[in-house]
Every structure is written in structure tokens, then in C-alpha cells.
Structure 1
Amino acid sequence: MTSSLYVINPAADFPTYFGAEVLAASGQPAGVMMADLAAATVAALAPGDFRISICDETVSPVDYDHPADWILITGKVSQRGRMTAIADAFRRRGKKVVIGGPYASLSPARLRDHCDVMVCGEAEEIAGKVFADLRAGRPNDAYFGDKPSLALTPAPRWDLYPNDRALLGAVQTSRGCPFECEFCDVIQYLGRRQRHKPIAHVIAELDALWAQGYRAAFLADDNFTAYRAHCKELLAAIADWRRDHPMDFVTQISIDATRDEELLDMCVAAGLNQVFVGIETPNIESLRETGKRQNLKINLVDEVQKLVDHGISVMGGMIVGFDHDGPNVFAQQYDFAMATAIPMFSLGALMASEATPLYDRITSEGRLLSGGVETQAVPWSSNIQSKTMSMEELHHGMKNLCNALYAPAAFGERMLRFIETFGRERKGPEPAPLDVSKLRDIERQAMQVGMDVRKMGEPEGRMWNRVWGAAVRKPSTMTIVARIMFQYAQARHMFAKGNYWEPQLAMPPAPQPARHAEPAPAE
């Protein structure tokens, strides 16, 4: 008996730094920053005779009259509200709903009443049983996956996805992270032992993305460079593949990657030109508190600059609200940011996510707050009662810091430093200048949104003229500068939607002595 599935990736509950909601807000067709790997992989895990359709709600509305036998919903904590709303709406219509993904795996009790079937953990080893039971119409209430070999992960069904409305394709080359940051839920879900997808499978998935028209992709790893020997082998394979497929890549790394000069050179040769790095804080005591040991005993400003010098743009994660963060932390974070060549920071208040050691500690101390946002992807909420400041002080300081960091003059200063130093230690040829004629429609539309930053106001216009003028004078930076300007537009859209953008606050906090992480001891 053939069954049919409607696989849904819900919209986020609010714009985030990593979204592309600004496209629709600017009058362009809706789109996403990254193609949704989860929905495409779930579709690939289903038997070949299942009839499957995928909905990415950010791109197109959910069809509540869809005739599928089963509604499958996946999502993260930042999608919790939409996940439950969509599930409830289908169940009121008599549909059977299956929910899985990261949030279902980490916080199952929050979703249990909103679905008929729950899938917790990774799905590769249990998919056969799940889909057989769905076909028979007799599924269990819940299924629990373990941590499978990534050799079992099928190539995603990109043929079912709206690829023309995603800026970046997505390939996952590993799962897990060896570090133990107290606030992070990655190791609770995916484990500390990093598992790697066979390199031949990665290259095959890149071939599929290329065939779909992608010329840039996100390597969806929590720490791409954690295991350097394997990473170098993969980078060499990607560099070889890129000789005939000039694709660019974005990923997440930890700052310890800068200790390996060969690794950085190989990243650049493989087309890796933008990375997210969890900087978190220059406050030494806060780094120790949260177990971010890889950020200690180094000068964070210098290590970030190594990446930029090689030709790798950095987006920095920044967190405020650790127990060792006093009221001066906002000035300290601003001082640190303005010393770097990092244009974009994802700034958020410390959040205790369920299943993390931080959640357990804060709960045991009686400092867990309820009723607010549960993700660090936004700056205006925390579920932790701070030890060192009131919630009003935290909120005001966060708003001030957001406005200060993204004030046109401050953002422009970091952009100019980035452009000036980008790739000055690069080995090998420089990137080709931006060729607008080769861009896909969504890429041209995103570029236009970035160009329209100059229309936001007079300060933005002055900043844009200086930044774009510098990029034109250094053509190797034009493509990445265009992407960063779009990311800036998204951040400003996010702040505006959260009632966080108040230009009168866009003044640097009072200067404070900066305490960057201590230098490494002499050998």
C-alpha cells in the first residue's frame, strides 16, 4: 500500500541573524538563507514508492488542505511556536501528525501533546521501522534513534525542494562536537564523538547541489575543523572538485583552527570564505565559567585576524549574561568588537536550553525564568535571572549594545578594516571579481537588498558609499562584501521587528578597560 507524506519545515517564530526574512520585507519574493537539509533528508529516508512533497513555510504557505496521509514536521527551538500551531491546525482537520528534529529530541515533553507520533534522536537507523509502521497505519507513539554512522545518511531529495528560493545549499559532513560548552545543546543531541560522512558521499551531494544551480553552500557542521586530519582530507577532495565546480562555502569552526596554518590555507583553497566562530565573550572568567576552554590562553582579536588575513570572513557569536558578567560587560563587548575585523556579530543574551548542563545548574539554583523566548538567536530575552544585574539592566544593556554595534558608522568601521586586511596573507589566486550576470535570481535580489541599505537613512548612505567604494577598489572582496551587506540588512530587519532599533541609543557605551583572553604562555 502506497502512502503519502507532506514534510514541513515551519517558519521561524521571529527573524534571526541567520534568516532571510528581509527579502520579503523589501518587496522581493520570499526566500531562505540556507536550504533546509532536514526536510530534504527526511524525504530521502522514506521508501521510494511514497508520494512526498516538501513545504518550507518561509518560502511558501502551508497547504492545510494537502491530501497526504501523514504530516511530518521538523524544527528547532526557534520554530517552536509555528511547529505547534501547524501541528494543531492539521490535527483539528483530522490529519495524523509526526514531529521530529532537534527540538523534539531535546524537549519532547513540550511537543508531546501536539502530535500523534514523535521521533526523537537521529533517524537513519529507525527510518525503516517508522515508515513501515506509517504505511501500515499502526505507528508507535514514539520512536528513539541513536547515533548512526553517517554512511547510512541518504543523499537529500533536493528535487523536491524549492531550490530557486535558497541562497545557500547545504551539505552535512559531520555530526557532533568534542567541546563541552555549558550552554550548548549540540553534544546532548549529537554527541561529543564527532562522526564523519564518507568523503565520496559529500562529493556526490555537492554534485547534486551544483546540478540544482547552487554556487554557494553551507557545510552544516557544528565544528567543521574539529578533527584536523579528517578535515584536511575532506578539504583536499573539495578543492579538487572545485577545479570544475567553482562553489563557495560557509561553515562553523572554533577559534582553535587558527593554530594550524596549513589548515587555513586548505580552507581557502577549498573555497571556504566565511565562517561562524563562537567568540562568546572576551571576559576570561566567563569563558572559564562556561567551559569554553578553546577560547582561553589566546588573544582573540589576533586569532580572528589570522582568519581574515587568509581570506576568510568571520561572523562572531557574542553572548552576554554569564554569571561573571557585570554591568560593564556591554562596554567590554563593544570595545572588543571594535578592535576586530568582524563586521557581523550574532549577539544574544545567555539562554539555558533544555537538556544542557547550564539548564540543570540554573534550575538547581532557582534562577530559571519561564514564559520567554528559548533561543540565543535573538538578543532580547533570557530565561536566566542574572546574578550581577537586574533584568532591566540586562535588557537595556543589550539594546544599547545592539544599536552601538550596528550603528552605520561603527559597522562601517569594522567593514573597512575587514576589506583592508582581507586576504593579505592568502596563498594562491585571489577570488574573481563579482560577476552579476552569473548570479541566480535570488542572489541578485539579495544583492539589491544589500545595496538598498544606503536608502535606510543618511548615515547608512554615507557608510554604504565608503564600504562599497573600498570593495570596488579591491575587487577580490566584492562578492563577500555584497553578502555581508545583505546580512546587515537582515540584522537591521530583525532589530526593527523586535522593537530593538533605536538610533538614539547608537552610541558607544562608556569606555571600560578591556580584558581580552590572556596570551598563550611562553614556550
Structure 2
Amino acid sequence: MPYDSPIQSKSERRILCIYPRYLPSFSTFHHSYHLMPGIKAFMTPLGLLQIAAYLPSKWEIRLIDENMHLATDADYEWADAILITGMHAQRKQVDAINTRAHSFGKLTVLGGPSVSRCPEYYPDLDIIHMGELGDATDKLIEYIDNSVERPADQIRLQTIERLPIENFPIPAYSLLNLREYFVTSVQSSSGCPHQCEFCDVPGLYGRAPRSKQPDQVIAELNAIMDHGGRGPIYFIDDDFIANPKAALNLLSSLVEWQHRNGHKIEFICEATISLAQHTDILDLMREAGFMMVFCGIESPDPNTLKAIHKEHNLRRPIIESIRTINSYGIEVSAGIIFGFDTDTPETSEAVVQFVRESQIPLLTINLLYALPNTPLYYRLKEEGRLVEDPNRGSNIAFSLPYETVLGGWRKCLHEIYSPHNLLKRFLYQTVHTYPNRLSERKPTLADLVMGTRLLGGILWKIGCRSNYRGEFWKVIGPLLRSGRIEDVLHIGFVGHHLINFARGCVSGEAEPCFYGDPNRSAFNSSYSRNLNR
């Protein structure tokens, strides 16, 4: 049901919420949107949907996701105030939105993870909101209710008392056309108990996991379905199993929900690789329809994992853990980072060998970047190893020469994302992972129509026109003949993006770090055009 802020508003306001364009990366799948008619962006902007739901119900809200289209002059003229959120990688776009809003004389407000960690990045915003929903949000609402005039000096609001997560409103999914997104996002918990040196999550959201009640999550899933969501649904929790007991309780409810609704939806989540130790959780994830889990593996080198305080990845051999997760029908995707102090000139080949052994198709591979206010950042600052060079894709003086690290990253991508090698790993999944999924999912008429259109796009644009069509048919031909259409759709859509994005990385069209600060990096001109088109 609709949620109203505890602040009673006396004024009617028009609020324009804008989500900035994000950097293309391995996990945005933008190279494949043309294969699936109607898809315009990767994932719903959950943070902005959450704040929109918290605003007073008498206020009129409009939400623009600039990954689809830019806000128009008419949008800015309509609004009384502009609300923006963003990560470090969206900093350029945040600044552009702010400048444009000010040209219309509009009050601007920025919240989200980037400004919460680095308020100094945004001196030109009128109001900055640091932290999660809470008392700062109530003060923000009170300010806008009283006035939408721009303040003479920037106002900084810091959340001291967070809104309990079990009191979060249902995100305002009605503000978006969910059918235009590849995945819809939902959150069941916040916080991560681990202390990986490079990660800013504990500093942002705390180390003590906070979990929603299962019926709260179910209500959000129902809202997604009511507003046209067709899946998959991505749990954006920092670690889905941070609180194993809470995960089990939620999964039991998800299983019941799937049974009631005909198993129409598939789920994706993020978790540590130690998920493999929780077979009770894996059993329920399989029954609930989880198809993929992203694991931050970071490095196959035990010495590296110890050095970055990620020892929890070593509780079992990593390859063994991946095999265990695959045995429940769940495909593993992984994050890998180049540039740790323990890296050697042989690191690139070691990563390639790990990918061969693990048979993971989808890996996001970055150069290490020292995010501000992380343990890594403070250590490197003390050591004098933070670098401000616009021609580098990282702000770190690596222990190896920069060109060696960059060259190893490109060599690795060239090897693992060649069409032959990528499709070979997908073929492994069709034998050892996908058949382990429950077959209770019954496609709806809308699923069949969308699948037919996607299949047509894949067969024509990849099977007939791509420059890797020979390798494509070696894998896809037998799957088609055996009627495994869902596998064809998944491999075609995901694989096409990975192949093309990796080619752009190898040729220098994309930055080697997709989560850093673009204001300090010199972008290739074609990349900049892609960001600002």
C-alpha cells in the first residue's frame, strides 16, 4: 500500500527524480539490447525508487532514468526540485544534471553512495544527503515543504538515526515501465560483516546485517509483478547470506510465493563463495528459482586473498565451491581484480587458467582502484601511492609497472572472451549446471512472445550477421535441435555483450576500472560519446 512520510507536508510540490547514466561495463549488457525489443536499460534504480516512495503522498513525483533518455527542458520547467542519486562512476553525469537544473533556477538535492562517502566531490549541489533513509531525509522533506528556493550556501544533511529497514516503504515501481529493464531490483538486507581492504560497503552500510521481514519482501515482489515486471529479479543485497538464518527464512517464503504464482520469475543475487558451505540455503535457492549468483572472488591466489583480508574465500578450495553451487543449478559469475600488491607478471596467465578450470562464463574484471575512505585508500595514502594522472585507469601506483598491469588485464580479456573460449564455457554450463535446475517454471504468453522475438534477433543478428557466427553455431545448433531454447536465449544475449564489450576493452575504448571516478580519467572519445549520447 502507499507509504507516507512521517513529515506532514503543507505544500504541494513537484519533484523530478533523475538517475544519471552509468558507465557501460561487463554487467550492463548494453551491446545486446538490440536483440531484445523493448529493453532500454539494465536495472531499475532502486535507491531513487525508495526515496520516491518515502516522499509525502500529496507531492507529485516524476522519475527519469537517463540510461533510457535524458530529462527534457519541459521536465525541468515542471519541477520544483530535482533529486539525484549516484555512484562514483556517475559523477560526471551528476554534475551535468546539476548544471542543467541550475540553468532553470531549480533546487538540486543529491543522495546516494558517492556523496555519502565523498561530499567534497559535489560542492555545487544545493543540498547533499549523506547516509541512508532516516532523520536526514525527514529534514530534507521539511526543507522542501517550506521552500524550493536555492540556498545561499550548500546545506549538508547527515543521517544519524537510520530508518529501520523493516520500515522501508515499498519502492515506487509504478514510476517506471519495468518492461523496459533487463532486470528489476529488490533488496532484502543491508550491510556486510566482512572487511575486504578495497571495499566501501561496511563504511556505508555497516558490518551488522539488517534484514527485512519475509512478508515485506514478498509485498515488494507482488508490487513488481503488479507493475509489469517480468524478471529476472536481482537481489542487490551486499551479501545475500550475510545472515544465514534470515536468508533461510526469506527463501522459505520465496519458495511458497513461487508455488503460488507458477514459478514465473527467476532470481539473481550476490553472495560470498562460502555460499557453497550452506547446502540448506542452496537447496531452497534451487527451489525458489535462483539462476545465478555473483561472487567476489577477486583473485585465485591465496596470498592475495589473505593480503586483502578476504580469507573467507579460502574456507574451501574455490573451484570445489563453484562446482558445488553449479550442482544446484546456479551459475556462478565472478569479480576479478588486477593490480594487487601480490600480483606478478604471471598473474594474467594464472587468472586465465582459473577461468578455464572454473568454467565461469561471466566475469567482471577490473583494475584495482582505491575508493576514498576505504582501508586500501588510507594505506596507500600513507605510503604515498595515490596517483592523480588523467591518463591512467587507476589512481594507484601498483607494485608492478602500470603498463604491465594494464597489458595483463587486456591479455586476459582477449583470451577469456574470445568467442571460442567463452562459448566453450557456456557449453560446459549446459551440461553441468543448467540441467540441475527445477523445471517447474511455466512460461506465460508474454514470455513466449518475448522469447520468440529474442530468438529471432539472436539467430539473425548473431547466427547470420556476426563475425563469430561459426563458433556460435557449433554450440547453439545442437541446443536448438534438442529444444533447449531458454539456454539459447541466455547464451546468445549474455555472450554477445561480453564478446563485444571485451573487444572494446582490449582496443582501448573503455576504461579498465568500471567503479572508479570518471572525473579523474581521460576517456577515449568514442567512449565519451557513448556516455553522453
TM range (shorter): 0.7 to 0.9
Deviations for 1:260-291, whole angstroms, at most 9, x for unmatched residues?
Answer: 21211111111111110111111111101111
The secondary structure found in structure 1 opposite 2:327 is helix
1:15-34 alignment to 2 at 5 Å? 15-23=24-32, 31-34=40-43
Deviations for 1:114-136, whole angstroms, at most 9, x for unmatched residues?
Answer: 31000010024432221121110
Per-residue deviation, 1:325? 0.4
Q: Do residues 94 (structure 1) and 105 (structure 2) align?
A: yes
Tell me, yes or no, if the aligned pair for 2:84 and 2:109 is still in contact at 8 Å. Answer: yes
Deviations for 1:97-148, whole angstroms, at most 9, x for unmatched residues?
Answer: 101111111111111x231000010024432221121110177701112443
| 127 and 447 in structure 1: CA distance in 2 versus 1, 3 angstrom threshold | farther
Tell me the residue number matched to 1:404.
415
Tell me the residue number matched to 1:198.
213
Tell me, yes or no, if the aligned pair for 1:33 and 1:166 is still in contact at 8 Å. Answer: yes
Per-residue deviation, 1:472? 3.9
Q: Which residue among 328, 338, 346 is the counterpart of 2:364?
A: 346
* Amino acid of the structure 2 residue aligned with 1:191: G
Counterparts of 1:415 and 1:154, CA distance in 2: 39
| 456 and 358 in structure 1: CA distance in 2 versus 1, 3 angstrom threshold | farther
Per-residue deviation, 1:471? 3.7
Q: Do residues 386 (structure 1) and 398 (structure 2) align?
A: yes
Tell me the residue number matched to 1:218.
234
Per-residue deviation, 1:53? 0.2
Tell me the residue number matched to 1:61.
70
Moved runs in structure 1, 4+ residues, more than 6 A?
A: 433-436
* Amino acid of the structure 2 residue aligned with 1:491: L
Deviations for 1:295-334, whole angstroms, at most 9, x for unmatched residues?
Answer: 1142111111111111001111111111000110000000
Tell me, yes or no, if the aligned pair for 2:39 and 2:181 is still in contact at 8 Å. Answer: no
Q: Do residues 44 (structure 1) and 39 (structure 2) align?
A: no
TM-score by structure 1 length?
Answer: 0.87
| 455 and 333 in structure 1: CA distance in 2 versus 1, 3 angstrom threshold | farther
Tell me, yes or no, if the aligned pair for 1:35 and 1:166 is still in contact at 8 Å. Answer: yes
> Percent same amino acid among aligned pairs?
26
Q: Which residue among 326, 334, 356 is the counterpart of 1:308?
A: 326
Counterparts of 1:431 and 1:23, CA distance in 2: 27
Structure 2: 5+ residue runs without aligned partners?
1-10, 510-533
Counterparts of 1:422 and 1:473, CA distance in 2: 19
Tell me the residue number matched to 1:121.
131
Counterparts of 1:106 and 1:450, CA distance in 2: 42
Q: Do residues 489 (structure 1) and 496 (structure 2) align?
A: yes
Tell me, yes or no, if the aligned pair for 2:480 and 2:488 is still in contact at 8 Å. Answer: no
Tell me, yes or no, if the aligned pair for 1:124 and 1:153 is still in contact at 8 Å. Answer: no
The secondary structure found in structure 2 opposite 1:114 is coil
* Amino acid of the structure 1 residue aligned with 2:332: V
Q: Do residues 131 (structure 1) and 135 (structure 2) align?
A: no
Q: Do residues 362 (structure 1) and 380 (structure 2) align?
A: yes
Counterparts of 1:81 and 1:408, CA distance in 2: 33
The secondary structure found in structure 2 opposite 1:302 is helix
Per-residue deviation, 1:10? 0.7
* Amino acid of the structure 2 residue aligned with 1:197: K
Q: Do residues 72 (structure 1) and 88 (structure 2) align?
A: no
Counterparts of 1:223 and 1:415, CA distance in 2: 25
Tell me the residue number matched to 1:430.
439
TM-score by structure 2 length?
Answer: 0.86
The secondary structure found in structure 1 opposite 2:296 is strand
Q: Do residues 167 (structure 1) and 179 (structure 2) align?
A: no
Q: Do residues 105 (structure 1) and 116 (structure 2) align?
A: yes
Tell me the residue number matched to 1:376.
none
* Amino acid of the structure 2 residue aligned with 1:382: S
The secondary structure found in structure 2 opposite 1:126 is helix
Tell me the residue number matched to 1:186.
201
Counterparts of 2:35 and 2:328, CA distance in 1: 34
Tell me, yes or no, if the aligned pair for 1:434 and 1:479 is still in contact at 8 Å. Answer: no
* Amino acid of the structure 1 residue aligned with 2:388: S
Tell me the residue number matched to 1:81.
92
Counterparts of 2:487 and 2:268, CA distance in 1: 11
Tell me the residue number matched to 2:258.
242
The secondary structure found in structure 2 opposite 1:243 is helix
Per-residue deviation, 1:448? 5.6
Deviations for 1:28-85, whole angstroms, at most 9, x for unmatched residues?
Answer: 5561221111121111010001111000011122223321010011111221111111
Counterparts of 1:225 and 1:175, CA distance in 2: 11
Counterparts of 2:226 and 2:434, CA distance in 1: 30
| 444 and 392 in structure 1: CA distance in 2 versus 1, 3 angstrom threshold | farther
Counterparts of 1:71 and 1:262, CA distance in 2: 46
* Amino acid of the structure 2 residue aligned with 1:225: I
Tell me, yes or no, if the aligned pair for 1:120 and 1:142 is still in contact at 8 Å. Answer: yes
Tell me, yes or no, if the aligned pair for 1:104 and 1:118 is still in contact at 8 Å. Answer: yes
Deviations for 1:184-234, whole angstroms, at most 9, x for unmatched residues?
Answer: 111110110000012111000000111122232111101001211110110
Counterparts of 1:109 and 1:143, CA distance in 2: 13
* Amino acid of the structure 2 residue aligned with 1:72: L
| 196 and 432 in structure 1: CA distance in 2 versus 1, 3 angstrom threshold | closer
The secondary structure found in structure 2 opposite 1:129 is helix
Per-residue deviation, 1:469? 3.4
Per-residue deviation, 1:437? 5.4
Tell me, yes or no, if the aligned pair for 2:35 and 2:493 is still in contact at 8 Å. Answer: no
The secondary structure found in structure 1 opposite 2:70 is coil
| 79 and 432 in structure 1: CA distance in 2 versus 1, 3 angstrom threshold | same
* Amino acid of the structure 2 residue aligned with 1:274: M
The secondary structure found in structure 2 opposite 1:71 is strand
Q: Do residues 468 (structure 1) and 457 (structure 2) align?
A: no
Q: Which residue among 321, 338, 345 is the counterpart of 1:320?
A: 338
The secondary structure found in structure 2 opposite 1:65 is helix
Per-residue deviation, 1:489? 2.4
The secondary structure found in structure 2 opposite 1:19 is coil
The secondary structure found in structure 2 opposite 1:310 is coil
Tell me, yes or no, if the aligned pair for 1:5 and 1:70 is still in contact at 8 Å. Answer: yes
The secondary structure found in structure 1 opposite 2:61 is strand
Structure 1: 5+ residue runs without aligned partners?
374-379, 503-523
Per-residue deviation, 1:25? 6.5
Counterparts of 1:450 and 1:125, CA distance in 2: 49
Superposition CA RMSD, Å: 2.5
Tell me, yes or no, if the aligned pair for 2:417 and 2:502 is still in contact at 8 Å. Answer: no
Paired residues, number = 488
Tell me the residue number matched to 2:155.
141
